[in-house]
Amino acid sequence: MRTRLIALAVLFIAGFFIVLQVPELFVNPGALIKGHEKVEGDCFQCHTPLLGPSNAKCIACHKITEIGAKKAKTARFHQRLSENNCAGCHTDHIGRDAAKATRTFNHSLLGATWRVSCHDCHLKPPDSMHKNVTVKCETCHLPEQWRPATFHHDRYFRFDRDHPADCASCHIGERYDRYTCYGCHEHSEENVREEHLEEGIRDFANCTECHRSGDEDEAEKIWNAKRRNLPYSPGKKRPDDDD
C-alpha cells in the first residue's frame, strides 16, 4: 500500500512539472489572436502558474503610454484608467480575430472625469433628436450600457412632420426635466383651457398624458380610456372610442 502511494505521489509530481514545462500539451483553450500567435507555445509569457493571466506581463509588452498612439480617438483612454485590469476588457484563446477577443467595455475602469466625457471617444448619434441635444450624455444614458437609454422619448411623445425633434421649442433653457407645449403659435393657455373645458376635461396640465403624438384622434382615445379607468393599447379600437 505504501509503495502504491509513493508511486502515485511520484507520478503526480512528475505530471505537475511536465505541465509547468509544456502546459500547451495539456491545457490549451484555443488559438491566440493573430498578434499573439508568435508566443502561442509559451504560456508563461502571459500567465503566472496557478494564478492565470498577469497584468504585469501584459504591460511588459503593451506599454500603457504607447497604447492607442495610432488611434488617438479610440484608444487613448488607456492612459487614464483607474486601474490596470487588462482582463477586464480583453481575453484570448478564441481565435485569430482580435475583435472577438475584446469584451464589452467596462466603463467603471475609467476615471470619474472620463466617465462623463463621452465625446472624447464617441461621436454624437446623427439622428434628428440628438442633433439638437446639448446636455451631457449621462442625462439619458448609463455608462454600464449605452442601449437602451434610460429615457425613451416615444413613451411620452412621438415626433412627426408637424412636431420635429426640435428640443428648444418644448424644453426651454435646456431643461429636459420639464416641457411646455406653448412654444408653438397655435397653442395658448387660454385656448387650450377653453377647448378642454368644452369637452369636460379639467385635468390638462400634463399634455402628454393624452397627447402622445400630433394625432388628435389618438388623444381622444387615450382620454376615453383614462376616464373609464381602462388601459389604452395603440391600434386597438374600443367600442366607446367614438363617444
Question: Residue ranges of the domains in the chain?
Answer: 31-116, 124-227
pLDDT band at residue 238 under the 50/70/90 scheme = very low
pLDDT band for position 237 (50/70/90)? Answer: very low
**Averaging pLDDT over each range in 66-80, 101-115, 180-194, which range is the top one?**
180-194
| Grid cell listed for 6 | 509513493
* Predicted local distance difference test score (pLDDT) of residue 115: 67
Give the separation between CA 184 and CA 205, rounded to whole angstroms.
16
List, as one string, the DSSP characters of 62-98.
S-GGGTTTT-HHHHGGGGGBSS--GGGTB--SS-S-G
| Bridge-based pairing state of the strands 52-53 and 47-48 | antiparallel
Q: Indicate the range of 100-114, 180-194, 200-214 predicted with least confidence.
A: 100-114
Q: For residue 232, name the pLDDT band (cuts at 50, 70, 90).
A: confident
d(CA 121, CA 143): 13
pLDDT at 148 over 80: no
| Mean pLDDT value across the chain | 77
pLDDT at 240: 43
The reported pLDDT for the residue numbered 72 is 57
CB atoms within 10 A of CB 151: 11
Q: What is the average per-residue pLDDT within 11-29?
A: 64
Nearest in space to 96 (alpha carbons), one of 30, 161, 153: 30
